[in-house]
Chain A
């Protein structure tokens, strides 16, 4: 049952990725302006044709797509036009770990701290503590991370001279990007946790558990949290691929050599191989995350059965 379910889901994933790749391929070639357009004065048409031939861009679009897929299946995703001295895979292998490290720290901080603060808020509902946490969370959700980043740089780098404005390779360089980047997901996690815990606490089983003599702490950990986690996993799972593919603002502002900026620069530079690589990476990550959160339900809630169609 489970194996069949997983097989079905994974084939669906493949279909999704192929569809996304075709759409991306068509769209990026439909945008006017090409990767090798001269920037100051026009080139003779014959010269331009030569350039297009070199990169196979003179072929009909379906031929180009078929070639791309054929090479991709052989592990060749092409050469990034923005970084012609390496392959797409080598570039990803270089920049993605940077983004993953930053993303992992941000996910770790925002989920542990966010869950903790959310539970605390719910348990102390409508007290000064809850109000304070709610105000801070609202701030964290509404102020964009680049605004926070600019303030951090102004205060900690330019005024206090405690930290360099940016860079990579030292632990202290992580402080400002992690703070700027974590606030929003932390706030979201805290808010959703608070609501989910409050809802779970209103359940009959909580009253029953308390009535049969369990301590409030036991009730929260064993019953409330476990039930509250279901909506949290649904809502928060998709935040992870976002955090693991990086933020252009954070990376640009703090000079972090990660993947995030390539989502934007690839499009501006019509870097076709990198556009395809970033789009496919996101498609695969999202599909896997949804699959993973569905599997997680089963582990959290025994009532959920994979592939079950209502009894």
Chain B
């Protein structure tokens, strides 16, 4: 009796102590208890620089959202997509609690989480997703990502204007919390694509148009933040959403300053921003020489970006396979990495970066090896011994900064040295470059591609004929198309993608140069699970960054160390 009383007393005492501990923990403005080593709530602020932006919303414009480097966006935080990505690139449920495909693989049903509401109190329903996708397919909206959802039934026809947008395969299901997506062919990668589903509110869209989130008066949020201020050309201020039903952020205020990103590193050094991602070779030298800065520099995968040399293989002279092979054996990737690219990339032998699903970089190593003697021989066999008979080549670059230009010049020098071929490097502005590339008018160029979703169907899909590259292989087309829509046999599907990439590399549809491993800096006072090592040991500001599509914002906070930095 006495013992049990004593035990009960101890339990009650412990419980009350634990309770007191919980009660005394400081919470931030939206009630999230802060970790013990966290700075006070008013210092849970994150400041970053961004390129000029006109929207925070994916479906309004993909390329005019706040970003500070390829694929690292600061957007979509006013919305909850169906799924999000965690730091290990797993899809995690967000607005959708669960989803399943029909037997034929053509219909996907997403079951929405009924607890998610907009900041004005209205529930988030399938109708919001339906309106959002209709906006994206609307030819009058001229969405800059309209090519992406071709797999959805009726999408391409709606974009062309031949069927009304309300006929696309994104519809409300049996109730307002069921969303049904229909595809033209089975698309096992569809849930991955639905990362790009951050909804706009149907009501606000109808009342104020697609830009309703640029003004706090008309803005409405279903995501972790709400809009507090948008001073055009100056800054966006976001504060944590008190009505958000998901994991509320520790960081209760987010300040995004519009800037020319060349100024990012100096702003970081002056402690005006907490993160930085744009480094010139000179900046990297400064970082290299300073142990404190070096410790703040973290290398990641970014958006699995591949830099490559491309050709117009549909016309002379690059219609000649031997000529392309000659070029592919004349480029010394190891030397490029060692002396030019350094920590900013790793040598590429295929299109899929190690870490990306389906990558087989090592297996492809033997195809386009560096072999100047073989290159010379192939050049002669192609009918251009010693480079004779080749027209003067212009190697176009897409608005590259210092590093990209250095790489272009190094490749031109290798072609001159190993093949005797004269190449002039020409750095062109983006619009002009893409217009020429998409029109298949570019003879010889260097460009990059970063992934949209984590499936080989995405990265290899851009090599299908009719896409942006002037290269065509029926075998490749058939392999990629079949594998992309294959359901129920992941092993065979992967084998077909491997075979397709093999075809692409062997036919020298392109010359892979390097995979980008971008560096990202954050101050030592930022901490959180998302910033600790992922399952393969990489500590990075993982793609897509501080964004509604990622879970990064859920765990990061400012520690007390901040007092040593910020003034």
Q: Which residues of A contact B (CB under 8 A)?
A: 31-34, 36-44, 46-47, 50-51, 54, 82-86, 94-95, 153-154, 157-158, 161, 164-169, 252-253, 255, 257, 261, 265, 268-270
In the assembly, what is the distance between CA of A218 and CA of B526, in Å?
Answer: 67
- Bits for B49-64, please: 1 = Cβ < 8 Å to A, else 0: 0001010000000010
In the assembly, what is the distance between CA of A164 and CA of B145, in Å?
Answer: 37
Query: Which residues of A are found within 8 Å of B54, using beta-carbon distances?
Result: 82-85
Query: Which residues of A are found within 8 Å of B231, using beta-carbon distances?
Result: 257
Query: Which residues of A are found within 8 Å of B435, using beta-carbon distances?
Result: 32-34, 37
In the assembly, what is the distance between CA of A154 and CA of B266, in Å?
Answer: 8
Q: Out of A39, A95, A257, which one reaches B63, CB within 8 Å?
A: A39
Q: In the complex where A33-B431, A86-B232, A265-B52 touch, is A252 in contact with B260 (Cβ < 8 A)?
A: yes
A46, B270: Cβ atoms closer than 8 Å: no
Question: Is B564 engaged at the interface, CB distance under 8 Å to the other chain?
Answer: no
B232, A94: Cβ atoms closer than 8 Å: yes
Question: Is B467 engaged at the interface, CB distance under 8 Å to the other chain?
Answer: yes
Query: Which residues of A are found within 8 Å of B266, using beta-carbon distances?
Result: 153-154, 157-158, 165
Q: Out of B162, B260, B432, B439, which one reaches A253, CB within 8 Å?
A: B260
B437-487 residues with Cβ-Cβ distance < 8 A to A are 438-439, 449, 462, 466-468
A36, B468: Cβ atoms closer than 8 Å: no
Closest A residue, CB atoms, query B233:
A257
How near does chain B come to A188, taking the closest CB pair, in angstroms? 26
A50, B270: Cβ atoms closer than 8 Å: no
How near does chain B come to A85, taking the closest CB pair, in angstroms? 5
Known: A39-B63, A252-B259, A255-B263. 6 other contacts (CB 8 A): A33-B435, A38-B434, A41-B438, A50-B142, A154-B266, A257-B233
Question: Can you list 25 A-B pairs with a CB-CB distance of less than 8 A?
Answer: A32-B436, A34-B435, A36-B144, A37-B438, A38-B438, A42-B439, A43-B146, A47-B146, A47-B161, A50-B161, A51-B139, A85-B211, A153-B266, A154-B266, A157-B270, A158-B266, A161-B567, A164-B270, A166-B267, A168-B234, A169-B234, A255-B263, A257-B232, A257-B258, A261-B260
Question: Is B160 engaged at the interface, CB distance under 8 Å to the other chain?
Answer: yes
In the assembly, what is the distance between CA of A50 and CA of B162, in Å?
Answer: 11
Q: Which residues of B contact A (CB under 8 A)?
A: 52, 54, 63, 139-140, 142, 144-147, 156, 159-162, 211, 214-215, 231-234, 257-260, 262-263, 266-267, 269-272, 429-432, 434-436, 438-439, 449, 462, 466-468, 567
Query: Which residues of B are found within 8 Å of A252, using beta-carbon distances?
Result: 259-260, 262-263
In the assembly, what is the distance between CA of A161 and CA of B566, in Å?
Answer: 11
Query: Which residues of A are found within 8 Å of B257, using beta-carbon distances?
Result: 167, 255
In the assembly, what is the distance between CA of A72 and CA of B215, in Å?
Answer: 27
Q: Out of B215, B259, B429, B462, which one reaches A268, CB within 8 Å?
A: B429
B431, A42: Cβ atoms closer than 8 Å: no
Q: Which of B139, B272, B439 is packed against the most chain A CB atoms within 10 Å?
A: B139
In the assembly, what is the distance between CA of A191 and CA of B258, in Å?
Answer: 38
B232, A42: Cβ atoms closer than 8 Å: no
B259, A44: Cβ atoms closer than 8 Å: no
